[in-house]
Amino acid sequence: MVVDAVEEKREIIGRYRRLLRKAKPVLKDGDAKLIKKAFTLALEAHKNMRRKSGEPFIFHPLSVAEICVEEIGLGTTSIVSALIHDVVEDTDIELEDIERMFGRKIARIVDGLTKIRGVFEYGTSAQAENFRKMLFTLSEDVRVILIKLADRLHNMRTLESMPRQKQLKVASETIYLYAPLAHRLGLNAIKTELEDLYLRFTDAPVYHDIAQKIDESRTSRNKFIKQFIHPIKEELDKLKVDYEIKGRPKSIFSIYNKMRKQNIPFEEVFDLFAIRIIVDTPLEHEKSYCWQVYSIVTDFYTPNPDRLRDWISTPKANGYESLHTTVMAKNGQWVEVQIRTKRMDEIAEKGYAAHWKYKDSAATHESNLEKWLIRVRETLERQDLSALEFVDDFRGNLFNEEVFVFTPKGDLKTLPKGATALDFAFDIHTDVGAKCIGAKVNQRLVPINHVLKNGDQIEILTSAKQKPNEDWLRFVVSPKAKSKIKEVLKEDKKLVAEEGKEILLRKLRHLKLEPNPHVMEQLRAYFNVNTQFELNFRVGKGLIAPADVKRFAENRNQPTSRSEREAPEREREKEKIKPTSDDTLLIGEDMDVVEYKLAKCCTPIPGDEVFGFVTVNEGIKIHRTNCTNAPELLANHGNRVIKAKWTSQHEVAFLTGLKVVGTDRVGLINDVSRIISEELKVNMSSLAFRTDHGIFDGEIMLYVNDTRHLDLLISKLEKVEGVVNVSRFDSRVADSANK
């Protein structure tokens, strides 16, 4: 690649000047000098580095700084940190140098953005460890996360030039952690773009198909919006306030989600867009003006009473305020109308950073985010969590939906949707939760697993004899309740394991066996447990009796571990799963033909885009890139993901599932099975049809050669009289990823 050095230098300076222009409104005395110092350092540090696209590396920190200013609304400290966020990780410059040049605050932010170096033990996750490290800095300075989100957004925007496996890993981390995090910090515009980019890189055909259909419907959509808002505008003009009306389509990812969850085609997604009315009013009049606008809208269009959402009186936990209603238009179409003020709109789009702009006037709303940060800090303070457990707990703190409930004295509490009386008890205090035996909800006695609804008033009943048990973890949903219950159970488990250890050592001495690492490893293999703690616990619980240990001693030199005993059977299973003819799946960097298993959770077939995942004890499993388990596997265990690609292949059958929905009639099942068996010569594994008042839906498990074969079958079935929709579904069997 030939590089024009002069042109490149001109482009770098041009981008730097553009950054300064955009930052100008937030700059104070001396800030431009500090930014120049950071830019000069980054330019020098990265001078010989290029991105995968071939561009000079400095383009990346400049773009991240620009996103911080323009799309998040951050100031000088963040611009400087963004410009130098990669120098410690990628060059010889040390953190001490950064502190000396820019001060401790910026050094802490850069440290939070720098990945941990070194080798991680097997079974841990480098990705999870780095995420935890970054969040530790969050408890001191939320800007670490905001800059990280800007960094991730730019990486996603430029993901095209990355190798396929890297694309999958980065996109999955994004949907698993960073998009929910952007949502939680109220960065709606960034969350939406991250979700759309995730879909673009994991399921390109679906992404482009939806994007094209949105584009095709733009003209008719704009015409409809114009007609819809015409009568409203006349009345709004009488309010004598500045206002803006815009119609915006739903994001590609949210349309895709709706299609997938409801199993419907694009044409049946009715709320493809929302109309937003934004009024510019002083803070003290916001509420009354928003309700006046609501009144105007509902004078012309009938509202759906079940779809009114008042997030002005009780804002969402991420600070989101708005009034949402769904009304029936004159053409019989439901339309969502969002009513908010200019301040609310800015906070909805730019989130946390916008809060600071309105800090003095809207301190009450900001406290919701502060409460969330306190919960994050509580999670961070728990030292006993592994990085993966921590990430799991943290994701639990990123709930989209909330339920608003009250204490007996009328204090408002916000809990995750689906929260129970026990969640509420733990939210009051750990001791109240641990001793909770029931509750009174709206004066009615209910059990601890009673699910709370908006507006419920709850009084907790306790008993000194009550104690948490494993069963509680099945129905609590709040991270605080889960972590406190686990803490108590862990302590109990430790005591049992200590007792078990004593019993085991006594028995081994009695059997004249030295409890050295080799013997302990044989014991763990014999009883098929992964850790010594688990072995001790099972002995303490009585699940492994002294007689079982004696049997181990008698047979320990024979192949008695379960994995060895089951080896021949597993080989037979593999034979069943693996095609007997020419293999079609090439795996790894060298694209070799190696042993694998097809994951039951997404039942891949030739033609699907797939990846390989190295499991702990079941070898390589093949998943579809759009498998529901894929984001978690790729986000937490990227180092165990390997390339996998189908080559062209015929005459080998793979099991997959089809869902058929339509109107019932005599002979319909016969017609469906005739097309499958006679016309296309496809073997069926199972066929289940249900009918209810003239509507039928059926699930068929059948063997196909590849995705083309499957598409042909779907198009034939859709032509059968009465059939409304045919779609592929993933297996209902939850596949153990053996992480």
The whole-angstrom separation of Cα 63 and Cα 379 is 32
One-letter identity of residue 488: V
The whole-angstrom separation of Cα 345 and Cα 289 is 15
Of 153, 209, 141, nearest to 178 by C-alpha is 153
Q: Which helix (H) or strand (E) holds 136?
A: helix 126-138
CA angle, 664 as apex, 659 and 667 as ends, to 5°?
Answer: 95
The whole-angstrom separation of Cα 550 and Cα 555 is 9
Q: For the sheet containing 458-462, what is the strand order? A: 444-446, 436-441, 458-462
3-state secondary structure of 646: strand
The whole-angstrom separation of Cα 320 and Cα 312 is 8
The whole-angstrom separation of Cα 672 and Cα 684 is 12
How many CB atoms lie under 10 A from the CB of residue 158?
16
Contact between 271 and 335 under an 8 Å Cβ cutoff? The reply is yes
Residue ranges in 542-649 assigned as alpha helix (H): 546-555, 562-565, 567-577, 630-636
Distance of CA 298 to the CA centre of its chain: 36
**What does residue 279 show for φ and ψ, rounded to 5 degrees?**
-110, 145
Which member of 44, 89, 554, 564 is catalytic? 89
671 flagged as catalytic: no
> SS3 for 160-218, per residue?
HHCCHHHHHHHHHHHHHHHHHHHHHCCCHHHHHHHHHHHHHHHCHHHHHHHHHHHHHCH
CA angle, 279 as apex, 274 and 285 as ends, to 5°?
Answer: 130
3-state secondary structure of 597: strand
89 flagged as catalytic: yes
One-letter identity of residue 389: E
Characterize 489-508 residue by residue with b for buried, 16 or more Cβ atoms within 10 angstroms of its Cβ, and e for exposed.
Answer: beeebeebbeebbebbeebb
Q: Which residues, 6 or more positions from 429, have their beta carbon under 8 angstroms from its beta carbon?
A: none
**What does residue 692 show for φ and ψ, rounded to 5 degrees?**
-150, 110
Of 343, 366, 346, nearest to 286 by C-alpha is 343
Which member of 55, 70, 90, 499 is catalytic? 90
The whole-angstrom separation of Cα 471 and Cα 486 is 11
The whole-angstrom separation of Cα 217 and Cα 471 is 50
User: Pairing state of beta strands 273-280 and 334-341?
Assistant: parallel
169 CB burial (10 A radius; 0-12, 13-18, 19+) = buried
Mind telling me the catalytic residues?
89-90
